[in-house]
A and B are shown apart, each in its own frame.
Chain A
């Protein structure tokens, strides 16, 4: 008689073209990352001096690089790194954004003003420049690159959460909760938060492509992952030197990156359509 929103979601998701394509693409990357050991024919750092810069062939599907490492294997292992970037980077932004946004929106006042000022400040500096500065200070490696990008990007998430919280705070059901003896924390996390989850899901899936791109850019610039890591950004950067002799070195990791970012973008678009109540009637 009464359908839960979760069931309804799955039912309508089957009809959503974007969501299904995005989900399938994302799932394929997930499979690559999880079963990298089984799928990749070689180790990602196993060089073969006899097979340097080989063109794509039967033994080496995507060819080999200047140290004779199998490019296909490296790309497969690289999926792990990319997903790690998405997972950690996304989580940091999500947690920071939700906590700061909820507290600022709910309590308002001087803390809210200060955080807002800080958020505005991070928007005044070009994101990549600031991320470069942060990484230079805290040290160049992948984890630090992820942290730097998250520190640049969390503000927009916090702003949206804050705005949603402020409008929800004045809804009658919050007053019911207060009249009922619920504490501030409970009101924030059990009354307001569940109501912004759909918006959060969309925000995260939309933020992931830019997180991946930015982190990859840092690796490309040499302040993210360090060799011999099979980071796609790093591989493109290495491949650039051989772009005339062995263009596949830069092209395949680039394509892998395009595929991943595209999957998140399409998935995000699909989710936005699915979770937007105004779109429902048209579904």
Chain B
């Protein structure tokens, strides 16, 4: 496809820690197309934020990234510091998990957004007009007055809107949203999601949405990738995944989703815990929790199999049995 915007090829990320290396991300490949919402789902510590930060080259110094991360054909790993600074914000924007302290407490929020606009050489007065426009486009109530508010005078939802408008101000073609609604309550979450899903309509922005909330994926995403313990276990079109989940982990995740309609009583859970990610032998990383696990799962890395052009998964037996 030629509308491909971002492509990760066989990305491995290791953290150098005391006593060796911690393999946080193993052999992850995916691509994000222009104007789509691509969701990455996984539980805490599965490496989804690490992947997101690696794209922007925001990882700590002890992280070692192998593989290719290509944006618009350019390999981001090979750019100089100056070049990557030019990419950040201008081509790829990022919003973070915690909007409460993502803004500089000493400037008004409007000034901070204006600051961003002026990085592209727009003068201050025109900048203010654009700030108000942006505030309106993220549905900030009382936009003209709120531009003069300091971060501490705003609620979490408003601050996340400021963050979004700040990142939008430079019209990036890709927005990485790292759990943008985790720190917010459910009503605000719905509003923020609506704003994010409108981005692709209004601005043509592609969004890489990182979340641990499967329900949220169903609502907004076009395509989805599921990560477990540093591996991308399954990815595909959101309808394919929800209709026909292949990997046992995905299936169990679906069963663990709270549904309003049937099933009174307890939610289903996945037994066991995520393996430690140091000195891992070749094996399926989900093997210790998988109800389908056999001997081969403990001794051999499962290969990536394709079900269709878009739907791939990483499992030895997925086709065989129902979980």
Contact call B166/A180, Cβ cutoff below 8 A? yes
Main secondary structure of the interface of A (DSSP, over half): helix
A124 to B103, CA, bound (A): 41
Of B9-17, B142-150, B259-267, the one touching chain A:
B142-150
The verdict on A2 contacting B150 (CB below 8 Å), with A178-B58, A179-B88, A179-B93 known, is yes
Tell me whether A179 and B58 are in contact in the complex, defined as CB-CB below 8 angstroms, given that A194-B106, A195-B106 are known contacts.
Answer: yes
Is B311 close to A, CB under 8 A? no
Interface residues of B in 78-100 (CB under 8 A from A): 85-90, 93-94, 96, 98, 100
What residue in chain A is nearest B153 (Cβ atoms)?
A2
Interface stretch among A18-26, A169-177, A227-235? A169-177
Q: Would you call B58 and A195 a contact (CB within 8 A)?
A: no
Q: Are B105 and A178 in contact (CB under 8 A)?
A: no
Residue from B85, B105, B150 within 8 A of A183 (CB atoms): B85
1/0 per residue A166-210: CB within 8 Å of B? 000001110111111111000000010011010000000000000
Q: Which of B56, B119, B149, B153 makes the CB contact (< 8 A) with A179? A: B56
Shortest Cβ distance from residue A1 to the other chain B in the assembled complex, whole angstroms: 6
Report how far A198 CA is from B145 CA in the complex, Å: 26
Which residue in chain A gives the minimum CB-CB distance to B86?
A: A181
Q: Does B101 contact A (CB under 8 A)?
A: yes
The size bracket of the interface on A is 10 to 19
Roughly how many angstroms separate A180 CA and B165 CA in the complex, as a whole number? 12
**Known A2-B153, A175-B96; contact A180-B102, beta-carbon cutoff 8 A:** no
> When chains A and B are docked, how far (Å) is the Cα of A179 from the Cα of B104?
14
Q: Is B41 an interface residue (CB 8 A)?
A: no
Is the contact region of chain B dominated by helix, strand, or loop, or is it mixed? loop
CA distance A194 to B107 in the complex (A): 9
Task: Name A180's contact: one of B89, B105, B145 (CB within 8 Å).
Answer: B89
**Whole-angstrom distance between the Cβ of A162 and the nearest chain B Cβ:** 19
Residue of A nearest to B100 (CB): A172
CB contact between A178 and one of B88, B101, B149, B167 (< 8 Å): that residue? B88
One digit per residue, 1 when the CB lies within 8 angstroms of any chain A CB and 0 when it does not, for chain B 55-87 equals 010100000000000000000000000000111
B85 with A173: CB separation less than 8 A: no
Instruction: Tell me the minimal C-beta distance from A4 to chain B in angstroms.
Output: 8
* Residue of B56, B58, B89, B153 most packed against chain A (CB within 10 A): B89
A197–B145 CA distance with the chains assembled, in angstroms: 27
Shortest distance between the CB of A266 and any CB in chain B (Å):
27
Cβ contact of A171, chosen from B93, B101, B166, cutoff 8 A: B101
Q: Which B residue sits closest to A171, measured CB to CB? A: B101
Q: Name B residues whose Cβ lies closer than 8 Å to a Cβ of A.
A: 56, 58, 85-90, 93-94, 96, 98, 100-108, 116, 119, 145, 148-150, 153, 163, 166-167
A residues near B (Cβ < 8 Å) are: 1-2, 5, 171-173, 175-183, 191, 194-195, 197
Offer 11 A-B interface pairs, CB within 8 angstroms, sorted by A. Answer: A1-B145, A1-B149, A5-B106, A172-B98, A176-B163, A179-B88, A180-B88, A180-B167, A181-B85, A181-B119, A182-B89
